[in-house]
Amino acid sequence: MTLRLGDTAPDFEQHSSDGDIAFHTWLGDSWGILFSHPADFTPVCTTELGLTAKLKDDFARRNVKVIALSVDPVASHLEWIKDINETQHTTVNFPIIADADRKVSELYDLIHPNASSTHTVRSVFVIDPAKKIRLIITYPASTGRNFNELLRVIDSLQLTDHHSVATPGNWQPGDEVVIVPSLQDEALIRQKFPQGYRAVKPYLRLTPQPG
C-alpha cells in the first residue's frame, strides 16, 4: 500500500511494549508520530529512541503522541528498552509496536525489498488529529533522524493550519512567515495581520508570526 500526504493513516490493532494498541483510538484527538525501525538492538535506533524519550515534554506541549515500530516481538522490545534506558540515560515512555507478522509494515509500506526483504525501513509519519498523514520521511540506515526537524515541522503545521500563512525555508518558531498567495483581499489581510507585512515581491509577502 502506497501512502501519500493527505491520506488517512491506516488504522490497526497490534501488540506493543505497552499492551495492545488500537491505533486510531490510542491517538484520540492528538497529533501522532509513527516511526519505524529495522530491528531491535540496532545502534542508530537505540540513540533515536533515547532522544525521543528525552523529548517527552516537547511532544506533550504540542499535543503529540509518539509510537515506534519494529518487527521483533514484545519480549525483545522489553529487553531492548532496558538497553536504551541504560545507554541513553533516560526512560522510554512511549509504546513500541511489535509487528512480528508485518501487518502494520504492509499497511504503511515499510518493507522495501531493495533495502531488506524482512526488516522495515526507517520511516517517519506525522499524523494530525483528523488522522490524515501530513509528513512522510524515509531515512537511510546510516543516518539518524533529526527530531528537532520533526518538532519544527509540527510547529509549522499547527501554525499554518490556523492562519493563512506558510513557513519559509529554514523557518524557526518566531521567524517571519509568508502570507499565502491565495489571500488577496487587503481588508482581510489587515484584519488577519494587524502587525502589517512587507511585500518583497507581489507573490512574496512576509509578516511577523501570528499568535
Domain positions in the chain: 13-145, 163-207
Q: Across the chain, what does the average pLDDT equal?
A: 94
This prediction's pTM: 0.92
- State how far the Cα of 69 lies from the Cα of 9, in Å rounded to an integer: 15
Do 138 and 46 form a contact (C-beta atoms < 8 A)? no
Is 117 a residue whose pLDDT tops 50? no
End-to-end CA distance of the chain: 39
DSSP state, 46? H
- State how far the Cα of 131 lies from the Cα of 149, in Å rounded to an integer: 21
| Active site members | 45
Same fold, 13-145 and 163-207: no
- Fold topology of 163-207: Antioxidant, Horf6; Chain A, domain 2 (3.30.1020)
pLDDT of amino acid 140 = 86
CATH architecture of 13-145: 3-Layer(aba) Sandwich (3.40)
